[in-house]
Amino acid sequence: MPELPDIIAYLEALEPRVLGQTLERVRVAKPFVLRSVVPPLAAVEGKQVVELRRMGKRIVLGLEGSLFIMLHLMIAGRLRWVESGGKTPGRILLCIFEFSAGWLLFTEAGSTRRASLHLVEGEGGLQQFERGGLEVMDTNLEAFTARLTSENHTLKRALTDPRLFSGVGNAYSDEILHRARLSPVTLTSRLSSGEIERLYHATQESLAEWIQRLRGEAKDAFPEKVTAFRPEMAVHGRFGQPCPVCGTPVQRIVYSANETNYCARCQTGGKLLADRALSRLLKKDWPRSIDEVE
């Protein structure tokens, strides 16, 4: 799922292309993507885009008349920019937003149908989608500490909870925790003040570095390779590959459709974290430390 750095990359690419431009027409290719009925989608046609903003992992286009188009990409949703009348993908196309300068394509790979488009009116309409997460790039250590310790969860869950922190998901939480040298299953109530401070700086540094990296990749082009799996990442999506810090093979915890990646030497003192499926299957044969694996 595109997270804070990816959403920022999209917004920065959209600004010179659609801000101040008139949305001439909206064509919906897959009706399921439209999750609202009032106001009607036709209400935005002929309206000028007056602002762009991020709400968590959502992209918001503000138009004249206090109308807002909200796009939630979820896991497989992506945005593309093509010339007016240009070639569009067939099966994965959800919607086309037509501007005189070009077309913004909303696509979704796969068959999960989780991406969504809402049209809402007024700031009050937007508030129903506000999850309340803290903007980690715009906060201080004191506020970060208060939010982190407001509930007792594992660090992985706390960082990815949109009610606690805005825009951080599965991929960047792995990178943050590796940089902070903290286990993803450590409870927030058990953190020392020094560990919280380390996590705070790791969060800001990791996200800032990835924002800059994505800016450098895109330059003046529209982002085309938005993915949660990048070779430059330290641990996320790199199961079995060497940790860039210590060389130890990256480990994982698999749950549902997601997985958490971590370095046992850098983050858990050499301890292997139990995988819900495999550890139960192996029982006594489940290795307790990275030394038993190596």
Distance in angstroms (rounded) separating the CA atoms of residues 133 and 143: 12
What count of other Cβ atoms lies within 10 Å of the Cβ of residue 206? 24
pLDDT mean over 255-270: 90
Domain end marker among 127, 161, 191: 127
Domain match, 12 and 121 both: yes
Residue 123 domain boundaries: 4-127
pLDDT mean over 168-188: 97
Domain match, 9 and 105 both: yes
Count of structural domains, the chain: 2
The whole-chain average pLDDT of the chain stands at 92
In the chain, count H helices and then E strands. Answer: 9, 10
**Residues of the chain by 3-state class (helix, strand, coil), percent to 5:** 35, 25, 40
Work out the burial of residue 149: count CB atoms within 10 Å of its CB; fewer than 13 is exposed, 13-18 middle, 19 or more buried.
middle
**Whole-number pLDDT of residue 276:** 57
Domain of 17: which CATH number? 3.20.190.10
Domain end marker among 98, 127, 156: 127
**Whole-number pLDDT of residue 220:** 82
Domain match, 48 and 86 both: yes
Per-residue pLDDT band at 289 (split at 50, 70, 90): low
Domain match, 75 and 173 both: no
Domain of 201: which CATH number? 1.10.8.50
Alpha-helical segments (H) within 241-286: 264-267, 278-282
Work out the burial of residue 54: count CB atoms within 10 Å of its CB; fewer than 13 is exposed, 13-18 middle, 19 or more buried.
middle
Token duo for residue 103? 């077309």
CB 229 within 8 A of CB 214: no
Domain match, 115 and 219 both: no
Domain match, 199 and 150 both: yes
Residue pLDDT, tens place only, 113-128: 999 999 999 999 999 9
Token duo for residue 115? 């991406």
Per-residue pLDDT band at 86 (split at 50, 70, 90): confident
Domain end marker among 104, 127, 150: 127
Domain match, 234 and 122 both: no
**Whole-number pLDDT of residue 228:** 86
Domain match, 154 and 268 both: yes
